[in-house]
């Protein structure tokens, strides 16, 4: 993938993060919360971030599949060999709760495989970016790229995974979606490992924690959509991990007719 497209995605994520924070930190803002058809919340920050990101990416030759955009029928999307998959504000519930655990997710997908991913945590000012040919990286205390090249960003960043020893088997799980199936998985891991620690987090941060090496595995036995995972999946792949369909050796794939993901587990790549 050309470097200019990665930089466009980074710029889009950082600017969207700034737009989200301007609303998040405004004491007079009521977030203008609405309910979507699936009863999930939608705020003014979701809409603003969507507009910002599409403004950056519309100049590229790739179509955009965004959670907050128009979802075209599969008869048209099936012809998209390469596309952007975007969640302008992942973790809207966490945004509304004001716990800071929300992200901006941008992925570039080629033939159903997430090749490039950018995830930005506006409150923590942490940027994760990855592309399969260059690896996965984390950059801290960042609000703007300025004129930095991709090589300069990489030189300032930490390559992932950055944590290699913990002494415990660490599972990261959803703060809002801890299902009975997930609890059963955790109990099974406790039988397999002498010491197990559970970390709870919101949004795509969970995939990033596994990519960093701060957690061993992230099981998700609850509904997610393609835009929830595509960017994190790209980062995980570039860090030597995979996002497998639960109980299978097949990774998640993207731009499907049904944009709902099957259940999955983020873990080290299986050796064949």
Alpha-helix runs per DSSP H in 105-196: 150-156, 180-192
Exposed, middle or buried: residue 159 (CB in 10 Å: 0-12, 13-18, 19+)?
middle
The answer to whether the annotation marks 126 as part of a ligand binding site is no
Cis-peptide into 161, omega within 30 deg: yes
The pair of structure tokens assigned to 140 is 């801290």
Whether residue 81 is annotated as binding a ligand: the answer is: no
Residue 67, marked binder: yes
**250 exposure class (CB count in 10 Å sphere: 0-12, 13-18, 19+):** exposed
Q: Is 173 exposed, middle or buried (0-12, 13-18, 19+ CB in 10 A)?
A: buried
The answer to whether the annotation marks 90 as part of a ligand binding site is: yes
Cite the annotated binding site for substrate by residue number: 67, 89-92, 228
Annotated binding site for Mg(2+): 67, 87, 89-90, 228
Binding residues: 67, 87, 89-92, 228
């Amino acid at each position: 993938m050309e470097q200019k497209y990665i930089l466009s995605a980074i710029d889009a994520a950082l600017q969207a993060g700034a737009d989200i924070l301007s609303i998040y930190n405004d004491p007079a803002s009521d977030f203008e919360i609405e309910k979507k058809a699936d009863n999930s919340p939608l705020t003014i920050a979701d809409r603003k971030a969507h507009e910002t990101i599409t403004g950056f990416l519309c100049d590229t030759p790739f179509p955009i599949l965004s959670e907050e955009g128009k979802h075209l029928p599969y008869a048209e999307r099936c012809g998209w060999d390469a596309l952007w998959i975007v969640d302008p504000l992942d973790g809207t519930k966490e945004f509304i709760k004001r716990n800071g655990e929300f992200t901006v997710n941008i992925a570039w997908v080629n033939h159903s495989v997430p090749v490039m991913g950018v995830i930005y945590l506006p409150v923590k000012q942490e940027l994760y970016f990855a592309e399969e040919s260059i690896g996965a990286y984390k950059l801290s205390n960042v609000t703007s790229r300025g004129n930095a090249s991709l090589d300069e960003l990489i030189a300032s960043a930490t390559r992932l995974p950055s944590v290699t020893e913990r002494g415990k088997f660490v599972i990261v799980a959803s703060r809002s979606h801890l299902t009975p199936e997930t609890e059963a998985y955790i109990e099974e891991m406790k039988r397999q490992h002498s010491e197990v620690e559970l970390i709870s987090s919101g949004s795509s941060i969970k995939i990033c924690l596994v990519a960093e090496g701060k957690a061993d595995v992230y099981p998700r036995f609850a509904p997610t959509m393609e835009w929830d995972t595509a960017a994190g999946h790209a980062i995980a792949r570039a860090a030597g991990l995979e996002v497998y369909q639960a109980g299978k050796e097949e990774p998640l794939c993207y731009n499907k007719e049904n944009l709902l993901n099957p259940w999955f587990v983020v873990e080290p790549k299986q050796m064949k």
